Structure 1
Amino acid sequence: MHTEVEDNKTNITSTSQTSTATAAQAELQATAPGQVRVIKRNGTVVSYDDSKIAVAITKAFLAVEGGSAAASSRIHETVEKLSLQVSAIFKRRMPSGGTIHIEDIQDQVELALMRSGEHKVARDYVLYREERRLQREEKKASEPTKAHPTIRVTLSDGSQVPLDLGRMEVVVSEACDGLADVKAQVIIDEALKNLYDGVPIADVNTSLVITSRTLVEKEPNYSYVTARLLLDNLRAEALPFLGIANSATQSEMASLYAKALPAYINKGIELELLAPNLLDYDLDKLGQALDANRDQLFNYLGLQTLYDRYFIHSNDIRIELPQIFFMRVAMGLAYREENREDRAIEFYRLLSSFDYMSSTPTLFNAGTLRPQLSSCYLTTVPDDLHGIYGAIQDNAMLSKWAGGLGNDWTPVRALGAYIKGTNGKSQGVVPFLKVVNDTAVAVNQGGKRKGAVCAYLETWHMDIEEFVELRKNTGDDRRRTHDMNTANWVPDLFMKRVFDDGEWTLFSPNDVPDLHDLYGEAFETRYTEYEAQCKSGDMKLFKTVRAQELWRKMLGMLFETGHPWITFKDPCNIRSPQQHVGVVHSSNLCTEITLNTSKEEIAVCNLGSVNLAQHVSENGLDLSKLEKTITTAVRMLDNVIDINYYSVGQAETSNMRHRPVGLGLMGFQDALYNQHMAYGSDQAVEFADRSMEAISYFAIQASSALAEERGSYSTFEGSLWSQGILPIDSVKTLIAERGNDYIDVDQSQTLDWSSLRTRVQQKGMRNSNVMAIAPTATIANITGVSQSIEPTYQNLYVKSNLSGEFTVVNPHLVKDLKARGLWDNVMVNDLKYYEGSLQNIDRVPVEVKQLYATAFEVEPRWIVDAASRRQKWIDQAQSLNLYISGASGKKLDITYRMAWYKGLKTTYYLRALAATGTEKSTIDTGSLNAVSSKTEAPVAAAGPAPVPEACSLDDPDCEACQ
């Protein structure tokens, strides 16, 4: 018989915080230097003994060959040789000592028998191990769970107690409940190998979490398992602090959540973390509304993100749990409602279902003492020293409370312009931008995320050529801004000159002060008048360049440095509902907001996003559900305006006067997957059109209904809304202003817009603007869908952000490959090797490759076409990243001209792959190191790659991802 012992088991206990201790560290803590120890199946830890390996192998031989004298001699020699081989393996692996599991030893015995040619003995050994495993499982099923016989955990006070095996099995089983293709026992068995007698209590749950997360790349459902295991950690952290319980399983939270909410509110107010007015709610009623089952909706990335950056904490102890977090946000948004409990429950249900998610500042600050809930602030910087530094101070104050900033710097006079007060010459815009850059670094949004600002400059400004070089890594560092964003604010006339290969004249704004506020035909007329003054000698400070040369420099810097982004002044203004009371001088940090700014007004926008994937099935859009979601979402956004904390007076003035909000969307790619549509297809472009039409219709309808209930915003009269001109109608105005030769925008529509126009004119609008599509990077992580309107980056990659690194695998792809019998370890390896792409994997059907084409495999024209079809419905803009594979000057030129030609208001980041790279070697083609256009950078042509990392879109320092 072979040497066998009882199965080792482990447990889970409460833990105060996720530990970073690794399995290797745990082993070293349990093992003296140079000593190898063995964990047996019953949990006891013993010293490694060569003789026991020899005994086990000998018994295996005797069971097959018998004990004859002839056989005995051969067996002895073989056993001695094999025992030394097995022992040598572990000594090489752990020269300084360590801990191994009995199963690892038996695995090596099997391999040694096979490699030595002893196939009959190896076969018998394998069969015997399986027989014993089944016997152990039967015995385990018939026996009650007991505390672990030898392994104890060390509590926070230094005392030790046995691991609670029963509780561990309950927690892991609950974590796996309802999920296909996951196994609780696999997690338990693997986690055991990281445990040892005296293990700190915090490391027990960590072992389970780490074990589960390593399985995500093979089965996406383990991401949900990992999140649920992490939840046990969170409960053990929050519940004792609130005085509710030392720990709790998921099933126990069904009753504990109702008790935890009032305890949390009282504790939060006591610690001066929450607003005292939250006590005015009927907390028992709200507590009963909390749905513990919704904790199960999180994947690991989403929950870890909430834990690290959103949950309120005291002395680094999180005192919030997921459903309490959502209710706190809902309470903060519903406080001024007449029936606030009912509204709070309505808001809570929408957030916790993941059908809609508020923006990050709202999630951070709702219900707190400083409810700064707005997302974006846009300012215009005046042309005087006091005003310039006042604008920089405004940046600091707004950034402190988690606002993203867009600054219009066009009014500031150019380098060499005359300064009357000092009788000197201006140093231009660039030196001030260096100060802005350093301010953004110094004021890091309350320590929660990096401060972020984007500077905008019109293309006719004399400093534009130096402005486009601000992000270069060469040149005078005093005239570089490495930490802030920049964007070109491009008039239509410049683009026409590019198309017609004309000349372009640069001015200092103090010589042409009215250009800043002009657009469309009025701008073209006045601009050509100033050009005439230059030619006649009446204008002294100017510069004439070829429009195409400046355009190429703009695109060249965009490709080289990622900045400045390309945004278009005229469509932002011509289609603005608020053109009767001001001018749009810039966009915001992420190029989706287009609101008026001036010396008196800092524009503010309040954001949230519909999860489109939650409103789509194989049969298309669920219009009824979408209408219900948007009606509640717009109400929540409108409430933000009245509740918001304003750190700058001009922001409050603007927000109260115009009441703009920006309802966007996320999960567009997931919605396509749900309908089996490829991103690069006519069907996807049509869906972009129809889905945005529905969102636009319901958002305008909801704002009009709020106007009927609460009154229109104060500057409604004279707006495009009051004239019966909706966003879809303003497209005609843009075409008329620009001319048919310079624009091509689809104008199809399917809903009853006529009756909505009439309603808006009669009932008014509560909000001057209602739609904007933001990047949604973090809230998309929370809800577990693709961000915003983006195509899939890769089907398997590592996402890095401020919460760490997370393996992300496309669950839709895994589901389809499973249905075809193609999902296995080889496919996982292939996806790693080909950096998340299916295109070079021969056994994947063509239709699957098309459906799961990654961002750089989708032609840019599809991205632009879909964006154009959305833009016609949106009163603001959309954060549009452009992905270009095989990037060249010509391809960039075509793509950005097309963006303007298709009527887009703005573009965001350019994600470009070089035209050539090194192709990975493959056995099938033998194309070792062949030139290819499919990779971002040269890679070694040997062996499978690790899981590829995401591009800079997921850089921890990229503000769009935070």
Structure 2
Amino acid sequence: MSETLNNQNGIVGNAVVVMNVTKRDGRQVSFNESLISQAIEKAFCADLNLKSVTDLSEAQRTRIHDITRNVVETAKPLSLAKDGISVEKIQDVVEAELMKNQYFSVARRYILYRAEHNKIRQLRAEERMENPQAFPSMMVNRDGQLENLDFQRLREQISTACEGLEETCSAEELFVEVQKQFFNGITPREIARCMVLAARARIENDPDYDTVASRLVLNIIYRESLGKSSATRDVIERYRNQFDDYIAEGIEAERLSPELSNFDLDRLASIIVPERDALFPYLGLQTIYDRYLLHIEGRRFESPQYFWMRVAMGLSINEADRNERAIEFYNILSTFRFTSATPTLFNAGTLHPQLSSCYLSTVSDDLDSIFKQIGDNARLSKWAGGLGNDWTNIRATNSHIKGTNGQSQGVIPFLKVVSDTAVAVNQGGKRKGAVCSYLETWHLDIEEFLDLRKNTGDDRRRTHDMHTANWIPDLFMRRVHEEGQWTLFSPDEVPDLHDLYGKAFEERYTYYEQQAAEGKLRLSRTIPAQDLWRKMLTRVFETGHPWITFKDPSNVRSPQDHCGVVHSSNLCTEILLNTSADETAVCNLGSINMLNHITEGELDLEKLEETINTAVRMLDNVIDINFYPTEEAKNANHRHRPVGLGLMGFQDALSACGISYASDEGVEFADRSMEAISWFALMASSRLAGERGTYSSYEGSKWDRGLLPIDTVATLEEERGMAIDMDKSTTMDWSVVRKQIKKHGMRNSNVMAIAPTATISTIIGVTQSIEPTYKHLFVKSNLSGEFVQLNVKLVNELKERDLWCDELLEAIKYYDGSLGDIPGLPEDIKGRFATAFEIEPQWLIKAASRRQKWIDMGQSLNLYLGQPSGRRLDEMYKYAWVAGLKTTYYLRSLGATQVEKSTVDINKFGVQPRWMKNSSSSSDIAVERQPEVQACSIDDPDCEACQ
């Protein structure tokens, strides 16, 4: 047994270090081969009824050695995970290897051995709970000093976390589970983590455990930031008394701006409401702890309410009455009525207040411009900006280079560098860098561009870490409809084409087609438009990219058509702003929590108006406070002052109103709620113009010409020469808005954009953006880890109707987090709680179309297809264009293959469960279901770029 199993990692006796192993108590130790071989030897001895391992034959020893080596080789790749490989997983591999080699009786002994020791661990924990004195004292390592662990204090902390939830949450069970993880020398931080993980593991059983877990996380935060946990009952006093210490400590550590010391700190401390910490869901608290709360060498010195106040102060620094405005902003933020975007939350009130979310740029066709843009991308990404680059101006492959008399390699090699830069500069270590590159459909390199995200082909011409998007003119869509031809050009030969749209683009494009037909252009190629369209749809299904976005509606309806062109959208396809060589467009984002504006099943317009007035002011303040990484960004933002007010919790608002997403009522709610948001937002920006003046490029804009977003639908129809399938009804008095803008103008060139809100919606515990419910039970991944998500609103309603039970929970697991196929559930619940893949995509597009008529920019609209096909993709994206959408975002789909549901006891589904009322038993439920194979995972941490 002296032979090493891993020569490349070195030998330490018989122990071979492969990677870290995570033990049951959370410690990480070196992976030791000898421990595996000893366990297998014991199993063989037990099976052969041998007294000692010395009684094993040489052949048996050799076989044990071979099995051990195979276990190690199997475990090595699994151990590359961030937290190493768990003891349980290694034991699973041992079992599998024994079965693979047909040592079935030995495997049985090994399984019994595992079960016996697990039972012993549980009994010891239970006995320790009942009589801690019967066991040797457990020692805690507190700052290097060992002391006895206070089990009674631990019990009190867990009981306090379960206070008021005793009917659904067992403090005793948590206490037992937590003790199983203890070891001598455990630190207080490790004990706290054990408690959180124990509660977190039970969230799928009942969402009340989410509250328990969040309280336990608060204990950790309070200990770090306030010096004591919430169990001490003096949190409010400490919150108030230590606020000035928090500011002083942050300034001294160069985490906070010295400007914050100029506020009336006693006044601000007096209005902080510590009880609002209880509003956070567990995942929200964990997320802000891991990535948002300011820290000094890993210790969070910022508590949740200090966090909100710091953002409020950072956004009110330039206000005349900064203290009152900080209080106003704090109350909107801390009650979850509105949340600023992630860069604002990261950096407000700090020494580098880079508060903007999105940067859009156009790249010129020369080497200096190309590499300047790549450098700008790095600078912008460093401070948490999401990037959108327009690369259409770059000449195509094989085009002539006058300076060297050579041939160009086209745009693709430069995009590879852009992709690698996004990986290298990871937004200050807080989240991954992200960029989306856009190319117009007539570019001669378009077909290679479509292949950039493929996993096959020349990897030097692939960009696995960069997003891509098609920038599609209306003329192409008409050629597809007419089954016509489409001509591809090199931009250096058609230099004006990229800056044209609508009728002007069509006229010039057909002129260049004639030039190409007469042989007057060096490079061009004509292909059937439908062939290119099919390839676009094939790639978006296969790889999720390039996204489908539409050039003409984005430009024709732009308020800023008088002073530039919209050449692309941003990373998440909702921002539509002009770009040029001297202007990098910037947008400042934040989103309204729609759920928080529903009162007794109705949209509370008075509350919504109050929130929007404050939110628009906060967003406008960002422009003047902002730290600009490049001069081009500063020029554009100060000249046009665009902001992007969005929304989140739309699905939650529908549920609170008793409305199904997939219904005429749901579409109508989308229309009327967006109309109200638009009305209040435009009024708020105009009032700010009356107070502060209009933005500098206001004169000549659509606002100045008396055109509101609703008016530009007709303009688009005129340019297209066809009707837009968009409802044009209104319910509010828009003459009031028109008079206000005519009198005072607008403070902001653009006001509304609906971003994905992937992270900020998680923080406050609502559904993302305008998304339907993804699943009612699923695992969400972000940079904080993986978290079980259970739809609390669904569970609460099921409890009210006496339908919630363990059998129903298992059924939801069996049916992949959806309700549609569960027999016996009331149809009204199935309808209102239909998940994304159960809703036909036309409902999403209809709702988006209704919103689009009110929005001066765009929406991050994901589209879902449970059973995709070429025909359905074709119909869906054509409908999106006909319905007047400016952009779409990810396509999410389900795979065509099926797998067996081996982890669920399907026999239970043959017996009528408790929730079934007057329904026949269903014993013929299919064992196979479709697994999810999404083009882009909805839980992908990479998809957090905007918010």
Question: Which bracket does the TM-score occupy, shorter chain normalised?
Answer: 0.7 to 0.9
Q: Report the equivalent of 1:831.
A: 812
Contact 2:137 2:148 in 1 (8 A): no
Question: Which one of the candidate residues 829, 833, 838 is aligned to 1:852?
Answer: 833
Q: Report the equivalent of 1:237.
A: 224
Contact 2:890 2:936 in 1 (8 A): no
Q: CA deviation at 1:200?
A: 2.8
Question: Which one of the candidate residues 931, 936, 954 is aligned to 2:932?
Answer: 936
> What is the correspondence of 1:639-718 to structure 2 with a 5 Å cutoff?
639-718=621-700
Contact 1:147 1:163 in 2 (8 A): no
What is the CA RMSD across the aligned residues, in angstroms? Answer: 2.9
Q: Report the equivalent of 1:314.
A: 296
> What is the correspondence of 1:113-512 to structure 2 with a 5 Å cutoff?
150-163=137-150, 165-166=152-153, 168-169=155-156, 172-173=159-160, 176-177=163-164, 181-195=168-182, 199-239=186-226, 245-249=227-231, 251-512=233-494
Using a 3 Å threshold, how does the CA distance of structure 1 residues 887 and 280 change in structure 2: closer, same or farther? same
Contact 2:548 2:887 in 1 (8 A): yes
Code of the residue aligned with 2:216 in structure 1: it is L
Q: CA deviation at 1:104?
A: 6.3
CA distance in 2, matches of 1:551, 1:100: 61
1:271-322 deviations in Å (ceiling 9; x for gaps): 1111111111111111111111011011111000001111111111111110
- Which deviates more, 266-275 or 565-574? 266-275
Contact 1:152 1:163 in 2 (8 A): no
TM-score, normalised relative to structure 1: 0.83
Q: CA deviation at 1:596?
A: 0.1
Contact 2:160 2:231 in 1 (8 A): no
Contact 1:359 1:607 in 2 (8 A): yes
Code of the residue aligned with 1:93 in structure 2: it is A
Question: Which one of the candidate residues 698, 721, 734 is aligned to 1:753?
Answer: 734
Q: CA deviation at 1:495?
A: 0.3
Q: CA deviation at 1:437?
A: 0.8
- Which deviates more, 563-572 or 208-217? 208-217
Code of the residue aligned with 1:365 in structure 2: it is N
CA distance in 1, matches of 2:893, 2:356: 32
Using a 3 Å threshold, how does the CA distance of structure 1 residues 498 and 28 change in structure 2: closer, same or farther? closer
Q: CA deviation at 1:927?
A: 5.7
> What is the correspondence of 1:96-107 to structure 2 with a 5 Å cutoff?
99-101=121-123
Question: Which one of the candidate residues 939, 943, 946 is aligned to 1:958?
Answer: 943
CA distance in 2, matches of 1:95, 1:475: 51
CA distance in 2, matches of 1:623, 1:782: 24
Q: CA deviation at 1:863?
A: 0.6
Gaps of 5+ in 2: 1-20, 39-108, 911-921
Contact 1:171 1:250 in 2 (8 A): no
Q: CA deviation at 1:377?
A: 0.2
CA distance in 1, matches of 2:350, 2:824: 54
Gaps of 5+ in 1: 1-19, 36-86, 107-132, 240-244, 938-948
Q: Report the equivalent of 1:114.
A: none
Using a 3 Å threshold, how does the CA distance of structure 1 residues 322 and 250 change in structure 2: closer, same or farther? farther
Q: CA deviation at 1:677?
A: 1.3
Q: CA deviation at 1:930?
A: 7.3
Using a 3 Å threshold, how does the CA distance of structure 1 residues 248 and 815 change in structure 2: closer, same or farther? closer
Q: What is the DSSP-based 3-state SS (H/G/I as helix, E as strand, rest coil) of the residue aligned with 1:760?
A: helix
Contact 2:25 2:183 in 1 (8 A): no
CA distance in 2, matches of 1:657, 1:952: 38
TM-score, normalised relative to structure 2: 0.84
Q: CA deviation at 1:417?
A: 1.3
Q: What is the DSSP-based 3-state SS (H/G/I as helix, E as strand, rest coil) of the residue aligned with 2:759?
A: helix
Q: CA deviation at 1:844?
A: 1.2
CA distance in 2, matches of 1:195, 1:935: 38
Contact 1:918 1:929 in 2 (8 A): no
Question: Which one of the candidate residues 892, 898, 905 is aligned to 1:911?
Answer: 892
Q: CA deviation at 1:199?
A: 4.0
Q: CA deviation at 1:246?
A: 4.8
CA distance in 2, matches of 1:491, 1:528: 13
2:702 is equivalent to residue 720 of structure 1: yes
1:131-169 deviations in Å (ceiling 9; x for gaps): xx9xx9xxx9xxxx9999945533223230441625752
- Which deviates more, 255-264 or 702-711? 255-264
CA distance in 1, matches of 2:200, 2:328: 34
Question: Which one of the candidate residues 796, 817, 831 is aligned to 2:777?
Answer: 796
1:19-43 deviations in Å (ceiling 9; x for gaps): x9764558999xxx999xxxxxxxx
Q: Report the equivalent of 1:784.
A: 765
1:492-550 deviations in Å (ceiling 9; x for gaps): 00001111111111111111111111101111111111111122222231110111100
Q: CA deviation at 1:430?
A: 0.5
Q: Report the equivalent of 1:628.
A: 610
Count of residue correspondences: 838
Q: CA deviation at 1:843?
A: 2.4
Contact 1:677 1:684 in 2 (8 A): yes
Question: Which one of the candidate residues 598, 601, 621 is aligned to 1:616?
Answer: 598
Q: What is the DSSP-based 3-state SS (H/G/I as helix, E as strand, rest coil) of the residue aligned with 1:217?
A: coil
> What is the correspondence of 1:39-118 to structure 2 with a 5 Å cutoff?
92-94=114-116, 99-101=121-123
1:427-468 deviations in Å (ceiling 9; x for gaps): 111011011111111111111111111000000111111111
Q: Report the equivalent of 1:110.
A: none
CA distance in 1, matches of 2:578, 2:738: 23
Q: CA deviation at 1:252?
A: 1.2
Using a 3 Å threshold, how does the CA distance of structure 1 residues 202 and 147 change in structure 2: closer, same or farther? farther
CA distance in 2, matches of 1:783, 1:420: 56
1:160-206 deviations in Å (ceiling 9; x for gaps): 04416257525642553479733444433443444466543223222
The alignment-based identity, stated in percent, is 57
Contact 1:172 1:229 in 2 (8 A): no
Q: What is the DSSP-based 3-state SS (H/G/I as helix, E as strand, rest coil) of the residue aligned with 1:740?
A: coil
Contact 2:280 2:764 in 1 (8 A): yes
CA distance in 2, matches of 1:512, 1:381: 16
Code of the residue aligned with 1:153 in structure 2: it is V
Contact 2:642 2:751 in 1 (8 A): yes
Using a 3 Å threshold, how does the CA distance of structure 1 residues 103 and 207 change in structure 2: closer, same or farther? closer
Q: Report the equivalent of 2:13.
A: none
Contact 1:381 1:411 in 2 (8 A): yes
CA distance in 2, matches of 1:167, 1:919: 43
2:790 is equivalent to residue 805 of structure 1: no
Q: CA deviation at 1:91?
A: 5.4
Q: What is the DSSP-based 3-state SS (H/G/I as helix, E as strand, rest coil) of the residue aligned with 1:394?
A: helix
Contact 1:149 1:162 in 2 (8 A): no
Q: What is the DSSP-based 3-state SS (H/G/I as helix, E as strand, rest coil) of the residue aligned with 2:590?
A: strand
Q: What is the DSSP-based 3-state SS (H/G/I as helix, E as strand, rest coil) of the residue aligned with 2:581?
A: coil
1:589-609 deviations in Å (ceiling 9; x for gaps): 000000000001000000000
Contact 1:238 1:318 in 2 (8 A): yes
CA distance in 2, matches of 1:288, 1:602: 42
CA distance in 2, matches of 1:179, 1:668: 32
Code of the residue aligned with 1:857 in structure 2: it is E
Q: What is the DSSP-based 3-state SS (H/G/I as helix, E as strand, rest coil) of the residue aligned with 2:532?
A: helix
Code of the residue aligned with 2:864 in structure 1: it is Y
Larger radius of gyration: 1
Using a 3 Å threshold, how does the CA distance of structure 1 residues 25 and 100 change in structure 2: closer, same or farther? farther
Q: CA deviation at 1:960?
A: 4.4
